Amino acid sequence: MCTSITLTTAGREHLLARTMDFDFELNGEVLLHPRRYKWKSEADGSEHAGRYAFIGMGRRLKNALFADGVNEKGLSCAALYFPGYAVYENEAKEQSRNLAPHEFVTWVLSECGDLEDVKKAAVSLNIVEREVSLLSTVTPLHWLLTDRSGASIVVEPAAGGIQIHDNPVGVLTNSPDFPWHLTNLRNYIGLQPGQFAAKKMGDMTLSAFGQGSGLSGLPGDFTPPSRFVRAAVLKEHMKPVSDETEGVSAAFHILSHMNIPKGIVITDNGEDDYTQYTAVMCSETCSYYFHHYQNRQIQKVCILQEDLDSNEIKAFQPKQEETVHSLQS
């Protein structure tokens, strides 16, 4: 389970933020994937050497595995689980871009500079059913992308091929498919930040117990439909933010309402499905902000301060332990 949103500041900085909720310890690290770094697809063995460098949360396996990231052109992408709905091809196809599902983030951020590039490249995309070695399973995924225009799209692998949806609300969670979530929002058009007026019933005048009555009925559980509605409503009514710093803070505030503590969501296998990290990416500065479950202090890496033509993937080791700032000497 994951939740992702986009935000635009008054200064026209564009952000993509996400939670990573999973029941398997991913032990991710921030990785810099340089320009022209060569990797072979597990779908058909073809070699790739992308045009753009990018940074994101990942794991160094046979190929580096990325869950999200932002590239030097400001294109950002987040992969989210899509169980029961993701449909992949059984075999690679000639004259197609063949990819394993877990390679999509690496491919799109190293090859595409903006959303228009993504739409053009996706025409020949063929996502092939291949296991990711870390999990020993085929990961059912869909993806949220944004760029410096502030627009966002959702890419979903379906029975009819790759579906690309414009995302007017800038929110994505998990199953069902994205059009279903948009339709479901119509059930919540009465939600508002203001208070409901007092109402007379018979000889009684009824008023709300306190503040917040306008959001009575906002879903509070952690299912994908509820998180989608909650994220969309909070994002819609949040006070405007002026710059990147305020935007990053606002994104973390919104996603804190989707964060899952350990012990609250238990899988059928008895495992904790919890928020392992939360990340925010800025398209303009190509910066990657994040905090882990065990350390809520925000940490940052900016790709533009690095050598983008390196021959190797670079890892940035996060501070794992919580840092508490004392106000006393």
Active-site annotation, residues: 2
| E strand or H helix at 121 | helix 115-122
Under 8 Å between Cβ of 146 and 7: no
Tokens at residue 304, please? 């533009």
d(CA 311, CA 23): 34
Work out the end-to-end distance of the chain between its first and last CA atoms, rounded to an integer number of angstroms. 42
Cα 33 from Cα 56, distance rounded (Å): 8
Q: What phi, psi does 232 have (nearest 5°)?
A: -65, -45
**Rounded CA separation 115/89 (Å):** 24
Q: Are 99 and 125 in contact (CB under 8 A)?
A: yes
198: DSSP letter = P
- DSSP secondary-structure letter at 187? G
CA distance linking residue 70 with residue 78, whole number of Å: 9
| Alpha helical stretches, state H, 193-323 | 224-237, 244-256
Rounded CA separation 91/244 (Å) = 43
